[in-house]
Amino acid sequence: MTTSRDAGRVTGRRGVTRDGPPAAASIVLNGEDRAVEPGLSVAELLHSLGLEPGMVVVERNREILARRELAGTPVEDGDRFELVHFVGGG
Amino acid sequence: MGSSTPADGPLVIGGRPLASRLIVGTGKYRSNEEMVSAIRASGAEMVTVAVRRVDLDRGREEGILHHLDPAEFFLLPNTAGCYTTEDAVRYARLGRAAGLNDWVKLEVIGDERTLLPDTAATLGAARQLVGDGFQVLAYTNDDLITALRLEDAGCAAVMPLASPIGSGLGLVNPYYIREIKRRLTVPVIVDAGVGTASDACLTMEQGVDGVLMNTALAAAADPVAMARAMGLAVRAGREAYLAGRMASREIAVPSSPTAGMLE
């Protein structure tokens, strides 16, 4: 796993692209296929999406990741992520 | 103050006293500002929220935590939209992982048209979630047997409907609601179907511990004014219940003396 990425190596739209250059990690993010730079941590993935870790809950391959696990968990090819938060509801 | 009216303590759910017997949802408001103003006007402390995917294209401001302060309101995650035990448990765990509390408003729907609950699936999810350490407030039908079983499963509160979610039809079965209240020990909160203040008042007059509503506020022409009215109605209904209403009869009885009339 890699937790100290050089920001300059992040490709595409802040690290995440839909149809950017061939990337090593193909993931499914909230139901959408996305390609991401290999070696990102989940915390870096959230950062690249402009999301605050304290405001979202991450489910990776049907397992919830605790906030303390985000920095040390790598994004791997084939991962399926659900990023959820609270919205209005009754 | 009437001296003979029994003293009323706060609504206590799962050991937690609440400032109001009215619980409100946060869905379907025209704006976040209007939602927050309406909730404040209602006096509710416990407020339900839903768990949904972050919209990656629209940005993070959609999250309700940007608008509602968990220090001001007790946020109760729901499992709205779930149709199976498995989904409801999944959503409950996601809600808990947000880190606010380990409470859940459990809702397992069985039918799209009526949004009536799947009571068997609700019971299965309630057992799992209670075993998993959740404080479960379970939305259910106005069915005594399911209510009893949800209590046996360890739910912190049982929440039978007044009428279908978002219908505004009011309290369709006061007798069933009264019987559920008579037979359960845990708090009974009537959840869904209230349309206007008289519905909320009538519901509280059945003796239940609280009312939960969303659409009645959000879909009112003036949600803030309706929220204030609902807060008053819940208090009025509670106090009328405690005061003990007169017997009704289908014949008039004069209020003024019949003696002393002029010749």
Structure-block tokens of residue A74: 């790598």
A32·B59 Cβ contact <8 A: no
Mean pLDDT of B54-75: 86
Q: Are the Cβ atoms of B80 and A90 closer than 8 angstroms?
A: yes
Token reading at B223: 């949600």
Mean pLDDT of B97-103: 93
Angle at B136 between CA B133 and CA B137, to 5 degrees: 165
Residue B143 Cα, gap to closest chain A Cα (Å): 21
Residue A85, φ and ψ in degrees, nearest 5: -150, 175
Give the span between the Cα atoms of B130 and B135, in whole angstroms.
Answer: 7
**Cβ–Cβ gap B99/A90 under 8 Å:** no
- State which residues of chain A have pLDDT below 70: 1-23
Whether A48 and A17 have beta carbons less than 8 Å apart is answered as: no
Which of B21, B93, B96, B105 is the catalytic position? B105
ipTM of the complex: 0.89
Residue B51 bridge partners (DSSP): A86
Q: How much of chain B, in percent, has pLDDT values that exceed 90?
A: 91
In the predicted structure, residue B238 carries a pLDDT above the cut 70: yes
CA of B247 vs chain A CAs: smallest distance (Å): 36
Catalytic residue status for B105: yes
Percentage of residues in chain B having pLDDT higher than 70? 97
